[in-house]
Chains A and B, each alone.
Chain A
Amino acid sequence: MQELLQYIFSGLTNGAIYAVIALGFSILYGATRLINFAHGEFVMLGALGLITLWQGLKIPLAIALVLAVLGVALIGFLFERLAIRTVSRPEPIVLIIITVGASIFLRGVGMLVWGKDAHSAPAFFSFAPIDVMGAKLLAQSIWILVVVVALTFALHAFFKKTLVGKAMTAASISKKAAWLTGIPYEWMILLAFVLSTATGAVAGVIITPITMCSYDMGTLLGLKGFCSAMLGGLGSLWGALAGGIVLGVLESLGAGFLSSGYKDAIAFGLLLAILYIRPSGIFGAKDLHRF
């Protein structure tokens, strides 16, 4: 029982991180039908940026958190303006390859700026782990879960209740109709990029205290996040949340009850199974077509 609880706690923490990364994929996909393979690198930039601001420049934690997220959002802004917007024939395959290129580029920049060694940061709060029937729940895990749920609610409210959010949804459904009603289509895409990369940075900053950060951490996290987004249904916010948590818990249970060697195999095997049985994901719209 103690072990089961511990596996679930560990899975929830990891799953929540996957969920925030998946949110970033979903926001962008929902607005532009584009998958940004450089998303994991934005997570890395957020994490290492926070370490530099907080540990290196000694900026107070709260301000460093905001600065790191805003800084990465700015890089997302530049990425859209310089790399995506300038493409003369914006076909999906061209754009996706550009994002792959951007991911290699950003990883290289990360290596030059932060070096090849891993970095770590102390915990945000110094509370002792909470003991639940012998299993340890970290204060940091609770904070990650709270951030994830709050972020999903906030994004949900933004897309359903505000004019800008509705305009973004409209622009993604029909570019031409949105343009006819006076929605500035280009700005909506830019906003989607900024929002998506900012959530990536949020994922980065919340994991810094629980793990080691290095320039190449983005690849695997990006893949797991993508996996979660597919699992939940690309474009759906609640799907991203559910997909992330399901993936994290299954991974942890698999490592605990089967073998830790199969941890990643479980995640990617699950992705294959989902794509086969239900290509649109758990919460995905039915009309999603395979590509």
Chain B
Amino acid sequence: MRTWPTIMNRILKPALAGLICLIGFTPLAIGADAYKIGGLFSVTGRGSFLGDPEKKSMEMAIEAINQAGGIDGKLLETVIYDTEGDPQKAVSGISRLINKDEVIAIIGPSNTPPSLAVKSFAERAGVPLISCAAGITITQPVTPWTFKTAQSDAQAVSAVYAHMKGRNIKTIGILTVADSFGESGKQQLLSQAPNFGIKVVCEESFGAKDTDMTAQLTKIRKEKPEAIVCWGTNPGPAVVAKNAQQLGIDIPLYQSHGVASPNFIKLAGDASEGIYLPTGKILVAGLLPETDSQKPVLQKYIQEYESRYQQPVSGFGGYAFDAVQLLAKALKGADGDRNKIRQALENITGHVGISGVFNMSETEHNGLSPEAFVMVRIQNGTWALEP
């Protein structure tokens, strides 16, 4: 039979020790004089081309703020978890950020599916979430606590159509990849076409790993459109460019911002000549006119990133950089109150960032306009700015 001393020894003592630990250490953990900001990025895995520069940009931006004395006398502290691009890992990451680390705001995730997966957690806990993913469904419809800094495909489509309108193109054939990026692009292409007086005469799709798109291009050519729009991420669009050249198709070919990287030119080779595409301004920062308000911001970011990490800047790190800058503005005077931060984020207007000029409001949690994109043409293996 168990005696009292044994129970005391076996159960009560450890329990008491645990209690003392809790009381003793909790104030230490949250009592530090710093604002904790969470980060959720796909640092490894398929989406690492997004998450890796985003993590680096966030750390760089936070360090700069801390060196300048922090915000309202408080330093910023980052807690970053890797989502590997996986919605489930993102959900467990955000739970840890909210419950264990007790952060006051979260930046990320890098991709659309994880962003949609964690959105409801941020909403329920009342933590401002600034996503770095492109999907328009993240901030439309608007929910109180979710924001995003990346341009949406809706704006890219508007930029493409505005360019076509300027060249008097009235009929187009579209060729989209059969994944979430292509499907979302296709919806935007179809729904915005009437606003620009454009008619989609043929819609085709291709598999992300298909090796030949001649059949689709032949079918589009039969309908005699004035231009072709291809919406996808590498390598499919490069195959489309090659096939179009082989078939001798001489109408303009437009690609999406999904291939706006030097790698596309490398993959498609000669076939990339003359292709039009929308891109964030970071790719062509050096070519922008001096009157562009974003030019100094972009050049400063590029120079700092490249000298700090000794690698060329990518088009994606800017999403996290913008998120930190917006958050820093919102944190000022909010005294760490999450709801005040949220309201301050909504009231930011005219913020010149990497991805564009942000004008947030109660009904607009992305705040970018189609001007966030510029149209470029590939010429002699490099980008040329289109008027």
The prevalent SS among residues of A at the interface is helix
Query: Interface size class for chain A?
Result: 35 or more
Verify B211–A260 contact, CB threshold 8 A. no
- Count how many chain B residues have C-beta atoms less than 8 Å from C-beta atoms of the other chain: 31
Q: Nearest-CB distance from B317 to chain A (Å)?
A: 18
Q: Taking the complex as formed, is B216 at the interface, i.e. its CB lies under 8 A from any CB of chain A?
A: yes
Contact of B218 among A10, A122, A129, A221 (CB under 8 A): A10
Interface members, chain A 1-58 (any B CB < 8 Å): 3, 6-7, 9-11, 13-14, 17
Q: Using Cβ atoms and an 8 Å threshold, which residues of chain A touch B242? A: 120, 210
Q: Using Cβ atoms and an 8 Å threshold, which residues of chain A touch B247? A: 6, 129, 136
Verify A14–B209 contact, CB threshold 8 A. no
Verify B211–A14 contact, CB threshold 8 A. yes
Given A210-B211, A260-B204: A255 in contact with B234 (beta carbons within 8 A)? no
Verify B246–A136 contact, CB threshold 8 A. yes
Given A117-B263, A212-B238: A10 in contact with B206 (beta carbons within 8 A)? no
Verify A207–B207 contact, CB threshold 8 A. no
Contact of B267 among A116, A210, A212 (CB under 8 A): A212
Interface members, chain A 210-230 (any B CB < 8 Å): 210-212, 214, 216-217, 219-221
Q: Taking the complex as formed, is A263 at the interface, i.e. its CB lies under 8 A from any CB of chain B?
A: yes
Verify A214–B235 contact, CB threshold 8 A. yes
Verify A122–B269 contact, CB threshold 8 A. yes
Closest to B216 in A: A260
Verify B215–A136 contact, CB threshold 8 A. no
Verify B215–A261 contact, CB threshold 8 A. no
Q: Taking the complex as formed, is B178 at the interface, i.e. its CB lies under 8 A from any CB of chain A?
A: yes
Q: Taking the complex as formed, is A264 at the interface, i.e. its CB lies under 8 A from any CB of chain B?
A: yes
Given A136-B248, A263-B210: A255 in contact with B238 (beta carbons within 8 A)? no
B residues apposed to A, CB below 8 Å: 46, 48-49, 178, 204-207, 209-212, 214-216, 218-219, 222, 234-235, 238-239, 242, 246-248, 263, 266-269
What are 10 A-B contacts with C-beta separation under 8 Å? A3-B219, A7-B218, A17-B211, A117-B263, A118-B267, A120-B235, A129-B246, A207-B211, A210-B211, A260-B204
A120-B238, A256-B219 provided; 8 other pairs, C-beta below 8 A?
Answer: A10-B218, A122-B269, A136-B247, A207-B211, A251-B215, A256-B218, A260-B215, A264-B207
